[in-house]
Amino acid sequence: MKNIVSFFNKKINYNILVFLIAIYFGLVLNIPLWRTFSEIFSKLDAVNTGFIISLPIFIIAALNLIFQLVAWPYIGRVFFVILTFLSSITAYASYHYGVIFDYGMMENIFETNSGEALSYFSLSGLITIIIIGVIPCLLIIGAKLKKQSFIKDFVIYKLVSIIVSILVIVLIAVFFYKSYASVGRNNKYLNHVINPSYVYTSVKYIDKTYFTKPMVYQEIGTDAKVVTTATSNGKPTLFVFVLGETARTQNYQANGYLRPTNQYTQKYNMISFRNVTSCGTATAVSVPCMFSAMNRDNYNKEIAYNQDTFIDILHRAGISMLWKENDGGDKGVGDRIKKTTLSHSAKDPLCDGESCLDMALLDNFDQDVADMKGSKFITLHIMGSHGPTYYKRYPKDRAFFKPDCLRADIENCTKEQIVNSYDNTILYTDYMISQLIQKLKGYSDKYNTALFYISDHGESLGEGGLYLHGTPYSLAPKYQTTVPMMIWFSKSFTQDRGLNLTCLEKAAKNAQRGDYSQDNIFSSMLGIMNVSTSVYKPKQDLFRQCRTN
């Protein structure tokens, strides 16, 4: 014990402390990186042993070089305490959920509300962060440093440390450049797995979001107007657009899944489109993208946030609009129309103070309809299947699939429990939609009623070691990029639009991956609402092929 106390009472050189921090980052906080390398090497026929040995040395030398450049008296210790704590969180998320902290993920993190963020915390996660984050931070704070003259000792030691790091990097490059270039070229995401690379992407996001001059807002579809078709019955339209959250098509009974996850809507014969691809793997990308006039291949966030969506164009055409929010944010899509957000008050039996069950969106639905004039378009943004606290998305008495996972650290649940909890969220969404359809059926004498449902992105449930979502699109599995899309049209709506449902059912059933995507949403909504405008793209209207007018 005395030896241990003596060790921690020993004063060390400031630059040695920085080097020790670099070693800790390289060997401990980058464990997810070493696991990634292990997975990469397991797929190769042969790997140079020297290259493998050089990797931790290269990472430590590179980190030491960077850390020495930013480590200066008075600010260095504070900087490393903050960096170590944040990096322990990213290390935990990367290791347990396979999260890659690229620009898209940082965008998602910065735009996540506090309630949603808290759902990711768990007891095991807290313990892990205390061990790999808080305790090292306390050691950094408590480290006793030798008194050094600024030039003679501090600067000289720093220069020596920097030069040695550069020499090590150069030496490794001389011997193993081809190996590094090959692995890096074939696995371009690796630079985002290195901890703390999130600092760069965070700075990039902050600069682009808060310090870059925003572009001038652009109105499009200024010629929009509602047109009367030959089959019009004269009744106004009541259209509900249900924007889902984190639902993947693979777990939908309507799309071939063997479990009864659509048992509530089966009786309504909803048309389900298979193999629909998303614009992104996170809400921050998928939602503004699908509502915009852009496609996934040319999507630009800055343009999306500063240009009319189909919501704005429908509103301009004279359709009464309402956005009801339960997922924590509409990503700016509903900023220019009437919008309400559930309060999450614990006084509501459907809420717990942090979040609400999606059935709460149907509270006051009749009053919402009464307060709107003419043809109406209501968007309901649901919590759906948002994880990792899947169990909070459905009431206990609707846990149809058991045993379910009743914790946030889903990696500590069995595969069966995770899937059961997730399937319960899909089933509860199905229940909510069935109740909504029942309400719409009650309005059929006054309105042409319709419902359209699509999720923003999918979810990984442990396949390939990945959980949740947000994986870079080029690396994301189909579970994160394939979403359910289902429709229900009343008889009067179908007749008013001149729709051939048999044609639509056939198109939905025979669709191959790539035939339909969130790129279709913009023009499909304009078309089905009978809005004529120059920005409408007929080829992207998924209903046009089955309309007679």
Beta-carbon count within 10 A of 223 CB? 12
Mean pLDDT of 399-423: 93
187-191, 234-238, 337-341, 467-471, range with the lowest pLDDT: 187-191
- How far does CA 241 lie from the centroid of its chain? 20
Using a pLDDT cut of 70, give the percent of the chain over it.
97
Tokens coding 353: 């103070």
- Distance separating alpha carbons of residues 420 and 405, to the nearest angstrom: 7
Q: Which tens digit of pLDDT belongs to each residue from 435-463?
A: 999 999 999 999 999 999 999 999 999 99
Task: Say which range, 35-39, 103-107, 225-229, 480-484, has the weakest mean pLDDT.
Answer: 103-107
Q: How far apart are CA 255 and CA 273, in angstroms?
A: 8
Question: Taking residues 465-490, what's their average pLDDT?
Answer: 93
Average per-residue pLDDT in the chain?
A: 91
End-to-end Cα spacing for the chain: 87
Q: Considering only the top CATH level, what class is 225-546? A: alpha beta
453 phi/psi in degrees, rounded to 5: -125, 135
pLDDT at 209: 82
Distance CA 392, CA 351 (A): 10
Residue-wise pLDDT tens digits, 87-101: 999 999 888 888 888
Asked whether residue 56 carries a pLDDT value surpassing 60, the answer given is: yes
| pLDDT at res. 453 | 98
Q: Is residue 6 over pLDDT 70?
A: no
pLDDT at 211: 84
Q: If 0-12 CB within 10 Å is exposed, 13-18 middle and 19+ buried, where does residue 8 land?
A: exposed
Least confident of 3-7, 106-110, 278-282: 3-7
Amino acid identity of 214? P
Closest CA to 133 of 96, 100, 90: 90
Contact between 249 and 255 under an 8 Å Cβ cutoff? The reply is: yes
Q: Tell me the whole-structure pTM to 2 decimals.
A: 0.85
Q: Which is higher by pLDDT, 413 or 208? A: 413
d(CA 69, CA 166): 12
CATH 3.40.720.10 range(s) for the chain read 225-546
Going by their DSSP bridges, the two strands 482-489 and 320-325 should be labelled as: unpaired
Residue labelled with tokens 């003596």: 6
The pLDDT tens digits for 488-542 are 999 999 999 999 999 999 999 888 888 999 999 999 999 999 999 999 999 999 9
Give 347-404 pLDDT, tens digit per residue.
Answer: 789 998 888 999 999 999 999 999 999 999 999 999 999 989 999 999 999 999 999 9
Rounded to the nearest 10 degrees, the angle between the axes of helix 76-97 and helix 49-70 is 140
Give the mean pLDDT of 194-221.
89
φ and ψ of 281, to 5 deg? -115, 10
The model's confidence at residue 4, banded by pLDDT at 50, 70 and 90, is very low
At 1 the pLDDT is 45
Tokens at 477, concatenated: 């599995």
* Cα(258)–Cα(253) distance, integer angstroms: 6
Residue 122: what pLDDT?
Answer: 78
Radius of gyration for the alpha carbons in the chain, expressed in angstroms and rounded: 27
Structure tokens at 213: 């001059």
For residue 525, the model assigns a pLDDT of 98
pLDDT band at 279 (very low <50, low <70, confident <90, very high): very high
**Which residue would you say has higher pLDDT here, 195 or 178?**
195
- Tell me the mean pLDDT in the region 402-415: 90
